[in-house]
Amino acid sequence: MRIYETNDIRNVGLIGHGNSGKTSLAAGLLFTSGATNRLTRVEEGNTITDFDEEEVQRKITISTAVAAVEWNKKKVNLIDTPGFNIFINDTKSSLVAADAALVLVDGVAGVEVQTEKVWSFADEFKLPRAILINKLDRERSSFERALESVQQFFGRAAVPIHLPIGSERDFKGVIDLVRMKSYTYSNDGDGKGKEADIPGEFADAAQAAHEALVEMVAEGNDALMEEFFEKGTLPVEHILDGLRDAVRGMRIFPVMCGSGLHNVGSDLILNFINDYFPGPADRGPWKGTLNGKEVERAVQDSEPVSAFVFKTIADPFAGRVTYFKVVSGILRNDANLVNARNNGAERLSHIGALFGKTILPVNEIHAGDIGGVAKLKDTLTGDTLAEKSSLIAYPAVNLPEPSIAYAIAAKTRNDEDRMGNAIQKILEEDKSLRFYRDPQTKEFLLAGSGQQHVEIIVSRLKKRYGVDVELRAPKIPYRETIRGKADVQGRHKKQTGGHGQFGDCWIRMEPLPRGAKFAFENEVFGGAIPKNFIPAIEKGIVEAAEKGYLAGYPVVDFKVVVYDGSYHDVDSSEMSFKLAARKAFKAAMESAKPALLEPIMNVEVQAPVEYAGDLMGDLNGRRGRISGMDTKGGTQIIRAQVPMAEMLNYQNDLISMTQGRASFTMEFDHYDFVPQLQAEKIIAAAKAAKSGEEEEEDAG
C-alpha cells in the first residue's frame, strides 16, 4: 500500500446494532475497491474483519478490526466495530480513532437498542455521521418504515440522499438525490452501479425528496437560503458544497440505502465517504497533557510525532499487536518513541497499514492515519507514544465497570500454573474485563459485560493458550451486623504449670449506620485494664468479627466500647486479653439481634417500550425496587435496586424475555438486611458447608 498524506485519509467507524450488516458491508467495500478479489461472506467465515476464531464460529463481531481500502486516490480506514451490548465497550474505545461514523440500520428492524447506544458514542466524540439503511434486499424490509424509525429517533436532520429502486428481492439499485441519477447493479456483486436517468415511475418521489434535501441544505447557510428563496432550488455544485459543510458541522445526517450482502450501492458509499466526510485535520486539534499542562496538538505532519493506542490484540503467535492513530508528525519505520504513561522506550519496527489480521508494511505513516505494529514491550490500550522531547499524553477513553463477575478456577494444577499469565494477556486486549481475588470468599473472579462475554474469554483461554478453566456463579459477599445493643463480659482464665492465662473485659456493643464499618472506644479508667492490653482487645474483636457469627460472613457496622475489666500481674498477657475479647464478642452477638446483610445493586435496563411491563414485573419478582423510568424514542429505560443474589442469571433471562433486544448495566450501591426467610436458608447452607468441611478434615 502506498503512503497517503493527511488530507487524503478518511477514518470511518462502521457502527450499529448487532446483525445490522457492518462486517458484510466492509466486505463489499473491500471488494468494490479492489482490495479483495472476491466478495467474502460472514456465513462462510472468511471475511477480512472477522478473523478471530470465536467470531468465525459464532458469526458475530466480537472485537474491532480495521481494514484499509484505496478509492479514487484516497485511503479509507474502515473501523468495523461490534454491535452487541456485551462487546459494545470495544466499539466506544475504538471510535476515538474515527473521524466520522457510518451508522447501519437494519431495513427490517429499523433503529434498535444498540443503535441508540453507538449513536450516543458518536455524540460523545462529536463525530459527523451518515446513516445507511442496509439489508433492503431482505424479505419484509422497507426503506420507508426504516426511515420513519430513523427520523423518530434522530430527528429531521436525518434526511435521505438516496432512494431505493425496487424492494426486498427486487431491490437492485439506488437513486442519487443530489445528482438526480439512478444506479443499477448487476448480480455479480462488484458494487459498481450503472448510471442512467431516473426511471419514470420513481420520478415524482425522487423530485419531492430532492426538494426536501435542498431545503435542508439551504437551512443552515444564509447565502444558500437566499439563493434558494430567489430561484426555488440550488445548482448541484452548491448542493454538494452545502451538504459537505452540513455533514461536517453535524447539522445533517444523510440517509443512504444499500445492501452489504449483495453489494448494492458500495461505490456510492465510498464516493460519499471521500466527498463528504472530514479528513483527520478537519476535526481540529487533539487535547492532551504536556508537562502537567493541558495543550492542543494539531493533526499535522509538521508537529512532533505522537500516536494514540486505541486497541491491543494478544496474538499467541505474533505477540502483542498494537493499533494506533498517528495524531501528529510523520511516524517512520524503526522510530524510537516514549510511552507517556510509564516513560518506557519503544522501538516501532515493521509498522504498517491494517488489513484485518494483516499488517501491510509501509515506511512511514502520516498525521491522522491509522497503523499497526507488533511486539511493543509495555504499551497498552489508552497509552500515548511520543517523542521524548515533547512527551504529550492524550486521555484514555472511560469505560463503564463490568456488570457481572464469575468465579473462575483452573481444572488441573498445570492449568493453574499458566492461568494467571494467560488471563493477563487477555486483559491487555480487552479493557472491559477485570480479574481479581475476592478477599472474603477467596475466589478468583473474572468480571465482564455479561455471561457470554465471560464464556468467550474462557473459550479463548483454552484455544489460544491451552488453559482449561471452569466457571461458577460467584459466592455472594454477604455481611453480618447487629440490630440491637449488648453489654457483656468476656473472661478468659486458664491455669497450667507455670504461668497461667488471665484476661477479663466488659464491653458494650451497638449498631452503626450502613457503611460505617467498625468503631472501637476505650472508656476504661482507674487502671482496671492496663493501657498496653487495650490494643489486644480491639484486635481480638476485629479477628472475631472477620470470622462472623451467623454464617461465617464478616460482621460490619458496629461499635464496641470497652469500659471495665480486671487483670493479673503475672498471668495477664496480650494473648489472654485477645481471647477474652473474642469471648466477649461472641456473647454480645448472641444478645444484640444479629442479622444478615446482602449487596444491593443499581440496575439500569434499556429495552424497547413494548417489553417494559414484563421487565418491571420480572425485577419486582427478583425483590427489586423500581426507582425510576424514562422513555427515549422507542426505548424504555428502567432503573431499579435489586439484590445481587437475584441478578446472577439475569443476562440470559433478559435475552429470553426480549429476543436479545435489551441491555443492562449493574453496579454495587449499598448493603441492606436479608429478609428472614432467605436469611434462614443462607445460614443453614453455610452451616451445612462448614459441617462438611469439618467431616473432610476429620476423615483426612
- Mean pLDDT confidence for 60-88: 93
Of the three residues 532, 565, 592, the one that is the final residue of a domain is 592
Q: Are residues 541 and 640 in the same domain?
A: no
Predicted model pTM: 0.78
Is residue 699 assigned to a domain? no
pLDDT score recorded for residue 696: 56
φ, ψ of residue 236 in degrees (nearest 5): -55, -45
For 632-656, what is each residue's pLDDT tens digit?
767 788 999 999 899 888 888 898 8
Could you write out the DSSP letters of every residue in 163-184? Answer: EEES-GGG--EEEETTTTEEEE
Q: What is the rounded distance in angstroms from the CA atom of residue 70 to the CA atom of residue 67?
A: 10
64 pLDDT band (50/70/90 cuts)? Answer: very high
Evaluate the CA torsion angle 68, 69, 70, 76 in order and state its sign: negative
Percentage of the chain modeled with pLDDT above 70: 98
- 258 is written with which cell numbers? 444499500
φ, ψ of residue 407 in degrees (nearest 5): -75, 135
pLDDT score recorded for residue 526: 87
- 418 is written with which cell numbers? 499458566
Instruction: Count structural domains, the chain.
Output: 5
Kindly report the CATH number assigned to the domain that includes residue 661: 3.30.70.240
Is residue 241 assigned to a domain? yes
- Domain assignment of residue 453, given as a range: 404-468
Within 380-429, strands assigned E span: 384-386, 404-410
Whether residue 522 contacts residue 628, with contact meaning beta carbons closer than 8 Å, is answered with no
Q: Inform me whether the pLDDT recorded for 403 exceeds 70.
A: no
For 303-359, what is each residue's pLDDT tens digit?
999 999 999 998 777 788 999 999 999 999 999 999 999 999 999 999 999 999 999
Q: Are residues 138 and 238 in the same domain?
A: yes
Q: Are residues 374 and 251 in the same domain?
A: no
Is residue 65 assigned to a domain? yes
Q: Are residues 95 and 218 in the same domain?
A: yes
Of the three residues 447, 468, 489, the one that is the final residue of a domain is 468
Q: Which residue in 685, 485, 681 sits closest to 587, CA to CA? A: 485
Is residue 1 assigned to a domain? no
- Mean pLDDT confidence for 137-142: 93
pLDDT score recorded for residue 452: 79
Higher pLDDT, 245 or 117: 245
440 pLDDT band (50/70/90 cuts)? Answer: low
How many residues in total does the chain contain? Answer: 700
- The DSSP H or E segment spanning 457 is helix 451-465
Mapped onto helix, strand or coil, the DSSP state of residue 346 is strand
Kindly report the CATH number assigned to the domain that includes residue 106: 3.40.50.300
Kindly report the CATH number assigned to the domain that includes residue 570: 3.30.230.10
Contacts of 637 (CB under 8 A, 6+ apart): 604, 605, 606, 629, 630, 631
Q: Are residues 186 and 152 in the same domain?
A: yes
Is residue 88 assigned to a domain? yes
For 583-624, what is each residue's pLDDT tens digit?
999 999 999 999 999 999 889 898 888 999 999 999 999 999
Q: Are residues 485 and 518 in the same domain?
A: yes
Q: Are residues 442 and 363 in the same domain?
A: no
Q: Are residues 558 and 535 in the same domain?
A: yes
Q: Are residues 487 and 609 in the same domain?
A: no
- The DSSP H or E segment spanning 242 is helix 236-248
Is residue 451 assigned to a domain? yes
Q: Are residues 94 and 207 in the same domain?
A: yes
Kindly report the CATH number assigned to the domain that includes residue 413: 3.30.70.870
CA triple 282-235-148, angle to 5 deg: 70
Q: Are residues 58 and 143 in the same domain?
A: yes
Is residue 506 assigned to a domain? yes
575 pLDDT band (50/70/90 cuts)? Answer: very high
Of the three residues 332, 361, 390, the one that is the final residue of a domain is 390
Is residue 397 assigned to a domain? no
Q: Are residues 431 and 562 in the same domain?
A: no
